[in-house]
């Protein structure tokens, strides 16, 4: 693993030339916390330092968990912090509620077309398995990802029996380079098995929608937390199946952790930025706190204009 100084020094060589795009893509399933702010600081700081553009995307594919109040709160937080995207400003989401090109719930036609292209090549099949079925048939340790055992791969499940669809993954290894972690190899078929792209409730999955959207938004650089590193190989395989030929640069940064080693999470109700705001915190104080917790600086406060200097 590279030190901060090592991977920071590698950024000018690892990133595309000026005009590239990255994205900040929160899911409105809860309020933003310091972990989200650390990701935003990496995204905006690196983009501003090296000629990139920031795309704002709302990943609300899971309509059972997303709420309008969470969406509005995260947009308000970004405005309050002074983190302004270059494509799809926060005000555009309120104005274009029904048709916004960067809100996943508005992109059902995009995802359907992408799936149809895979089906036409025999790469997708219906699946009747529930999560409990997969967990039962694929022994795994607590907290470990179960690997789909291929139960329905050759079962010829009638298409109208289930909305769920899986993508056939080859046993090929996927090798990629992460700016911070160096060269890595994953075998998605052994990690997760055939990839679920639409669930039995007819909702598109994160793994599928994020790849389709990154291609639609011409994302060149993916900057995200290390908790999503395991998704990289399967997403690269999927992107290749969908016709992506343009290279993508990857950086998985460290996470903010609790004392027990668990990451900050909406599920554990970690203190929201909006609560810190209500308690009197100022934008510069929260930027400084997040940067210190991430090991990026020792400064007590930071301005948005200071973020590029954290990465040069």
Lowest mean pLDDT among 118-127, 181-190, 260-269, 298-307: 260-269
* pLDDT in the model for residue 73: 95
263 pLDDT exceeds 80? no
Residue 95 lies in a domain: yes
Lowest mean pLDDT among 137-151, 248-262, 284-298: 248-262
* pLDDT in the model for residue 281: 96
Residue 141 lies in a domain: no
Domain count, the chain: 1
Each residue's pLDDT tens digit, 91-114: 999 866 678 999 999 999 999 999
265 pLDDT exceeds 70? no
Q: Please provide the average confidence, as pLDDT, over all residues in the chain.
A: 94
Kindly report the CATH number assigned to the domain that includes residue 72.
3.40.50.620
pTM (2 d.p.): 0.94
Residue 127 lies in a domain: no
Cross-strand partners of 24: 56
* pLDDT in the model for residue 74: 96
Q: Which domain holds residue 252?
A: 4-104+175-184+206-311
Residue 94 lies in a domain: yes
* pLDDT in the model for residue 271: 81
Residue 266 lies in a domain: yes
């Amino acid at each position: 693993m590279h030190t901060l100084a090592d991977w920071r020094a590698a950024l000018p060589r690892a990133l595309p030339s000026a005009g590239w795009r990255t994205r900040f893509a929160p899911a409105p399933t809860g309020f933003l916390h310091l972990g989200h702010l650390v990701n935003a600081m990496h995204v905006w700081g690196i983009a501003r330092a090296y000629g990139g553009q920031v795309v704002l995307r709302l990943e609300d594919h899971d309509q059972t968990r997303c709420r309008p109040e969470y969406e509005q709160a995260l947009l308000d937080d970004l405005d309050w912090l002074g983190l302004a995207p270059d494509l799809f400003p926060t005000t555009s989401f309120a104005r274009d509620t029904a048709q916004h090109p960067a809100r996943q719930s508005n992109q059902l036609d995009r995802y359907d077309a992408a799936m149809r292209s895979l089906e036409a090549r025999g790469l997708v099949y219906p699946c009747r398995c529930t999560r409990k079925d997969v967990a039962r048939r694929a022994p795994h340790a607590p907290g470990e990802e179960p690997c789909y055992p291929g139960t329905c791969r050759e079962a010829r499940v009638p298409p109208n029996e289930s909305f769920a669809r899986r993508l056939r993954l080859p046993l090929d290894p996927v090798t990629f380079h992460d700016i911070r972690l160096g060269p890595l190899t994953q075998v998605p078929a052994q990690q997760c098995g055939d990839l679920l792209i639409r669930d039995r409730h007819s909702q598109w999955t994160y793994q599928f929608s994020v790849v389709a959207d990154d291609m639609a938004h011409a994302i060149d650089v993916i900057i995200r937390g290390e908790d999503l590193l395991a998704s990289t190989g399967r997403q690269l395989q999927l992107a290749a199946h969908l016709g992506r030929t343009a290279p993508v640069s990857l950086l998985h940064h460290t996470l903010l952790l609790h004392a027990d080693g668990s990451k900050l999470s909406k599920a554990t109700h970690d203190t929201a930025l909006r609560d810190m705001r209500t308690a009197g915190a100022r934008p510069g104080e929260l930027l400084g706190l997040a940067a210190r917790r991430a090991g990026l600086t020792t400064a007590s406060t930071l301005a948005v204009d200071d973020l590029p200097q954290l990465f040069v």
